[in-house]
Chains A and B, each alone.
Chain A
Amino acid sequence: MKFTKEHEWLRLDGDLVTVGITEHAAEALGDVVFVELPETETQVAAGDEVSVIESVKAASDILAPVEGEIVEVNTALADNPGLVNEDPLGAAWFFRIRIADSSVLDAFMSEDEYKEMIG
């Protein structure tokens, strides 16, 4: 698993990258009450705001960490946004991006590096 500075986690399976937010991010956001998911079959660039997550406190953007095509979104989050607090690293994945070159993930942090960043 890789991690971004924006507190997202990335998991690579073949040419698919699954994206979610970290436990640290979920805790900082507080109770999540709404998730807006991207459309599937859309091309995204790294840094695009593709998803919105709203907690009782505020709205936050979820960025596409890598360039590629959104091929699947986790519709369970639309019905049960609280999953983000319950299981951020598992059931609460947001979307899957098909990428051309898996080496783009090398640029992201390892778990140890991420833990060091959040202190």
Chain B
Amino acid sequence: MTDLLHLPLHALHVAAGAKMVPFAGYEMPVQYPAGVMAEHLHTRKAAGLFDVSHMGQVVLRPKGTMQDLGLGLERLMPVDVLSLAQGRQRYGIFTSETGGILDDLMFANRGGDYFLVVNAARKAHDFAHLAEHLADVAEIEVQQDRALLALQGPQAEEAFARLVPGARGMRFMDVAGFDTVFGPLWVSRSGYTGEDGFEISVPAAGAEGLARALLDMEEVLPIGLGARDSLRLEAGLCLYGHDIDETTSPVEAGLTWAIQKPRRAGGARAGGFPGESRILKELDEGPDRQRVGLRPEGRAPMREGVELFSEDGTPLGAITSGGFGPSVQAPVAMGYVPTAFAAPGTRIEAELRGKRLAAVVAATPFHPTHYKR
């Protein structure tokens, strides 16, 4: 057995009664004594604090101009990087030469550099990818010594503004830096739960102080990876390695909103990213299959790997994420089906323990999102 790495808040999680599990090479809290259901519902109603310090944080500092660096990033993503204003964050996708997804990420324009947050399980890959392709335009500074917290929920602003009053004025996908007693915080107004909230990069030395200050507040509870998964599933958000991977294109995955006009056919900087031929063709002609939301008709959760069929028995694809939605109060799932079966309302079947059970293609999110636009 390989040794699991511990993150700066490990002792705090254990003291809070967390059940720790291996995740992406780290020992992470999957739930606290309140349990996944209560943690999920608390986040939707008040505020939840998530430790996502396992994610990769990297600063790209331009060797030349920010424009050159932006263009360098556009060589790796079908995304409009250049138009991203200072103080703003955007969702990005590293694509492969065959048009699959190497990782999804957030990137922020901080004026003098770009700050990227990538998935834990992909960070070693991503850092190597950046070093291979951007060495000419960027100093690549992996942030080994920073923790990452997410504070999510309708009372997140109230709670966080007690410590950082300036955060109140931020809108969805704004980023800002704040000098605090916990050290310099890099804050974005974003998250992965469908709720309003903040993602807060904090120096490792200040992480426990910040976490304790937030957890001391009545409205804030610690939330584990279990509820993080059910919250993002209800919000219809993709999880890398499950809903998206090197075999799925951004168009199949329904991430076309992340491919802005300048990068599409006829745009000012059309193409020029890995996998451009497949991705531009799918944008033009439509993909053969698509990621869809699914609402099982019964109460039985349909989880990852469950196979999908048409009502006449033709294999369609499989579920990539699924479970019980505590806020929806019913099972919810996502998976891939041929485009002819992708319209909301289409009735299909899923095979569960040898039985075919009905499910209906449904629009996502399953639970309304509450971003502060």
Residues of A within 8 A of B (CB): 30-31, 33-34, 36, 52, 54, 56-57, 59, 78, 81
Q: Which of these, B38, B226, B230, B303, contacts A59 with CB under 8 Å?
A: B303
B31: nearest residue on chain A (CB-CB)?
A30
**B300 pairs with A56, CB closer than 8 A:** no
Lowest 4 A-B CB distances belong to which pairs?
Answer: A31-B37, A33-B324, A56-B36, A34-B299
Q: Say yes or no: is B323 at the interface (Cβ < 8 Å to chain A).
A: yes
Bound together, the chains give a CA A36 to CA B296 distance in angstroms of 15
Q: Known pairs A30-B35, A56-B226. 9 more at Cβ < 8 A?
A: A31-B38, A33-B324, A33-B331, A36-B300, A36-B353, A52-B300, A54-B301, A54-B324, A81-B299
Q: List 14 A-B contacts (CB under 8 A).
A: A30-B37, A31-B36, A33-B331, A34-B299, A34-B300, A34-B324, A36-B300, A52-B353, A56-B36, A56-B40, A56-B226, A56-B324, A56-B326, A57-B36
Residues on A with C-beta less than 8 A from B303 are: 59
- Distance in angstroms between the alpha carbons of A57 and B326 in the assembled complex: 12
Q: Which residues of B contact A (CB under 8 A)?
A: 31, 35-38, 40, 226, 230, 299-301, 303, 323-324, 326, 331, 353
Q: For chain B, what secondary structure do more than half of its interface residues adopt (helix, strand, loop), or is it mixed?
A: mixed
Q: Give the most central of A33, A36, A52: most B CB within 10 Å.
A: A33
Rounded to whole angstroms, the CA-CA distance of A81 and B326 in the bound complex is 13
Whether the pair A56, B353 counts as a contact (CB closer than 8 A) is no
> B323 contacts which chain A residues (CB < 8 A)?
56
Task: Return the chain B residue nearest A61 by Cβ.
Answer: B353
Q: How far is the CA of A32 from the CA of B38 in the complex (A)?
A: 12
Residues on B with beta carbons closer than 8 Å to the beta carbon of A57: 36, 226
Which residue of the partner chain, among A30, A33, A56, contacts B299 with CB atoms under 8 Å? A33
Closest A residue, CB atoms, query B300: A34
Q: Which residues of A contact B326 (CB under 8 A)?
A: 31, 56
Tell me if A30 and B301 are in contact (CB < 8 A): no
Scoring B36, B38, B230, B324 by chain A CB atoms within 10 A of each residue's CB, the highest score goes to: B324
Q: Which of A36, A56, A59, A78 has the most CB of B within 10 A?
A: A56
Given known A-B contacts A56-B226, A56-B326, A33 and B301 have beta carbons under 8 A apart: yes
In the bound complex, CA of A103 to CA of B252 (Å): 60
A64 to B37, CA, bound (A): 29
When C-beta atoms are compared, the residue in chain A nearest to B353 turns out to be A52
